[in-house]
Amino acid sequence: MTISSEDEFDRLKEIGRIVANTLAAMGAAIEPGMTTRELDELGRALLERAGATPAPEFCYGFPGATCISVNEEIAHGIPGSRPIAAGDLVNIDVSAQKNGVFADTGASFAVPPVSKAIELLCRDGRRAMWTGIRQIGANKPLGGIGNAIGTFARRNRYTLVQNLASHGVGRSLHEEPTEIATWPVRSERRIMNEGLVFTVEPFLSLGAEWADDGGEGGDGWTLFSSPRAPTVQYEHTVVATRHGPYVVTLPA
């Protein structure tokens, strides 16, 4: 999506606030003993109250309103009967549409008590995302995002999952430009046009470099860290403007 009118921008900002507020409320509600299905039901209620439609269900028939992934799961986890426990690392991905416009956001939450290494991983996951966002602006190279995040990860001795990429969003949940790497890719030559809408969502890890589907025992949706290692994801939907990045998925 490339913003073409003030009305379109306003609709994008509205759905951006909705998914951001939903994510913030779900994160605040996490407590040991609740199931991921109960957490998802809260997200569904908040989205529907705001007049928004959960995007994973709407676009792909996903069995949940939001994606909730725990520990070794790093993306597309199906909400269910799994109880959340103290020490868990919970990733929540919220995407939805309203008035024909989509926005996408996500974050990882550590359930206390957790180790210092996990606390730092969460802190640095956010820093990695913002390092990438700072590279955004009209007529700037898309490859600058992955280069900056890759430098950050290397300096701080983390790995990056390299088969889960950022993507265009707006008129649909996943659209052009596709496969925006959050790691360095020498062949990336694309340029951000003014008004381009896309996500920035690095997966920062203590050792994983890939995501896999769990093989024969998988459910067809959930992706796991490979090799198995604590991994976090933080995500915003951003617009490339002449003045730099405009983040539409901040809670308000």
Mean pLDDT of the chain: 97
Q: What pLDDT, on a 0 to 100 scale, did the predictor assign at position 61?
A: 97
Task: Assess whether pLDDT exceeds 90 at residue 215.
Answer: no
Euclidean distance between CA atoms 241 and 99, whole angstroms: 23
Neighbours of 81 (CB within 10 A): 8
Percent of the chain with pLDDT strictly greater than 70: 100
Q: How big, in percent rounded to 5, are the helix, strand and coil portions of the chain?
A: 30, 30, 40
Residue 217 scores a pLDDT above 90 = no
Gap between the Cα atoms of 149 and 208, Å rounded = 15
Give CA 157 to chain center in angstroms.
22
pLDDT tens digits for 2-13?
Answer: 999 999 999 999
3-state secondary structure of 12: helix
Average pLDDT rounded to a whole number, residues 42-47: 98
Inform me whether the pLDDT recorded for 216 exceeds 90.
Answer: no
Instruction: Copy the structure tokens of residue 134.
Output: 């700072």
Average pLDDT of the segment spanning 49-66:
98
3-state secondary structure of 129: helix
DSSP state of 144: H
